Amino acid sequence: MDNNNVGLLENNAVIHRIFEHIDKGTTDLGTAQWHEPVEHYTSQSRYEQEIALLRQRPVVFCPSAAIPDAGSFISRTAAGTPLLVVRDNDLKVRAFINACRHRGMKVASGQGCTRTFSCPYHGWTYNLDGSVRGIPGEAAFPDLDKETAGLKELFAVERGGLVYVQQEGTPRLDTLDTALDFFEPSQPLIHQSDTLDEANWKLLTETLLEGYHIKSLHRESFYPFGLDNVNVVESFGQNSRVVYPFKRIEKLRSLPPDEREIEGFATLVYHLFPNVSVSVLSKHTSVTIIEPLSPSRTQMFSYYIKHAAKNGAEISHEEALRDVDFVNQSGQEEDRAAARDIQETVTTSANSHLTFGYYEKAIASFHQQLQSELGET
């Protein structure tokens, strides 16, 4: 992955900084505390503002590998809108509101591969480019203009192996200036999952963005393998990258700097503002879309993609899946449980705000960006 275009440290510089932190007992620090009002995790009006934001900018919908072939599609709700994303016969990615133009029923459910979309209510059919293909009893609709009766199309674009969709307004292409090339076209999707939590989406996002909690929350899961509160934290555009080194990174000290590789010795978590994380692990990379359903309910959609061969060595499907299992068993459920617990307390009078200190630099940046986008002072 080339990070030069967005100013992120190269891998050798990251490793060097990690060793400095280990030797000095330090970590990357922010410069100010952040106080986030608890009502921002419970307020319906704040939630509606956040949903509007998610509709008015390109947001990752899925990795390109999830819709690899002509006719491959995924339908799900994003920012409260039922969407249908498909790769057409020319292999172009297209996005539509998943609603028949007759009486509004969804024309697709789940995901799969198809040649056409057919509304189950009255059988109106649509091509992969959204145009009308067939209308039973078409003579009963003499005023229908088939040229304008196709599925309502939205802005969609691929960047670096990710599919972005913007639902409303002029496409904010400036937000894609810092898009990274995460995947090669040959990298396959090996697994996917989704989870549902009674927690605000921001609480779940926050769990991904600091290592201050590793020893306390993940004592029996991740901490035996990972360093506690030793992180390299950087911003690029509105996004952040947090590096979580494994204890085995010490093995790299004996190698010349130009022979060191960070892969397998740290997890690199990229937070793509507002609600997506890309986590680069030893043998796979996960893409997680954190989808708000209400002020206190969130669904997360995760896609797992196998790493490309390196130095001629191919990673097997089984190896990559073991890597996925390790991550799922080494702290993810504990993070989700923490978010659910906090959601219960933010409705009480215990705190007027949540406090984020110097160790939680990326979380402060996330809230600063969100506050700015929402026009709050």
Give residue 311's pLDDT: 73
Is 331 domain-assigned? Answer: yes
> Are 217 and 340 found together in one domain?
yes
CA–CA separation, 35 vs 353, rounded Å? 6
Residue with tokens 């040959």: 186
Do 251 and 330 share a domain, yes or no?
Answer: yes
256 and 193 within one domain: yes
Please tell me whether residues 63 and 154 are part of one structural domain: yes
Whether 139 is covered by a domain: the verdict is yes
Do residues 284 and 192 touch, judged by C-beta distance below 8 A? Answer: no
- For position 50, which CATH number holds? 3.90.380.10
Q: How many domains does the chain have?
A: 2
Q: What pLDDT digit, counting tens, does each position of 4-39 carry?
A: 578 999 999 999 999 999 999 999 999 999 999 999
pLDDT band at residue 2 using 50, 70 and 90 as cut-offs: low
Domain that holds residue 354: 4-55+181-373
Residue 234 sits in the same domain as residue 310: yes
Domain CATH number, residue 86: 2.102.10.10
Summarize the confidence of residues 100-115 as an average pLDDT.
Answer: 98
**Are residues 83 and 185 both part of a single domain?**
no
CA 165 to CA 94: how far, in whole Å?
9
Tell me whether residue 306 is in a domain: yes
pLDDT of the residue at 325:
85
If you search the block for the tokens 């393998």, which residue do you land on? 225
Distance set, CA 61 to CA 34, 134, 202 (Å): 29, 29, 18
Mean pLDDT within 287-312:
94
Q: How many CB atoms lie within 10 A of CB 274?
A: 21
- For residues 131-166, b (16+ Cβ closer than 10 Å) or e, as one string? ebbebeeeeeeeeeeeeebbbeebbbbebbbbbbbb
Report percent pLDDT > 90 for the chain: 90
CA distance 45 to 243: 34
Q: Is the pLDDT of residue 143 over 70?
A: yes
Nearest to 350 by CA among 361, 363, 358, 341: 341
Give the span between the Cα atoms of 300 and 85, in whole angstroms.
18
Helices 44-55 and 361-373, packing angle to 10 deg: 80
Q: CA neighbours within 13 Å on the CB side: how many for 262?
A: 21
- Both structure tokens of 370: 């969100």
Mean pLDDT of 295-318: 91
**pTM confidence score:** 0.96
pLDDT confidence band for 3 (50 / 70 / 90): low
Q: What mean pLDDT value characterizes the chain?
A: 95
**Predicted confidence (pLDDT) per residue in 57-98, tens digit:** 999 999 999 999 999 999 999 999 999 999 999 999 999 999
Instruction: Return the structure tokens found at 4.
Output: 């030069």
Is the pLDDT confidence value at 327 over 90?
Answer: no
**Are 228 and 336 members of one domain?**
yes
d(Cα 271, Cα 342) in Å, to the nearest integer?
21
Report percent pLDDT > 70 for the chain.
Answer: 99
User: 112-121 pLDDT, tens per residue?
Assistant: 999 999 999 9
pLDDT at 323: 85
> Quick check: helix, strand or coil at residue 178?
coil
Does residue 215 share a domain with residue 69? no
Mean pLDDT of the 346-374 span:
97
Name the DSSP letter for residue 332.
I
DSSP three-state, residue 53: helix
Average pLDDT score over residue span 222-226: 93
Q: Is residue 317 part of a domain?
A: yes
Q: Is residue 176 part of a domain?
A: no
Is 248 inside any structural domain?
Answer: yes
What pLDDT sits at residue 1? 63
Tell me, yes or no, whether 303 and 226 share the same domain. yes
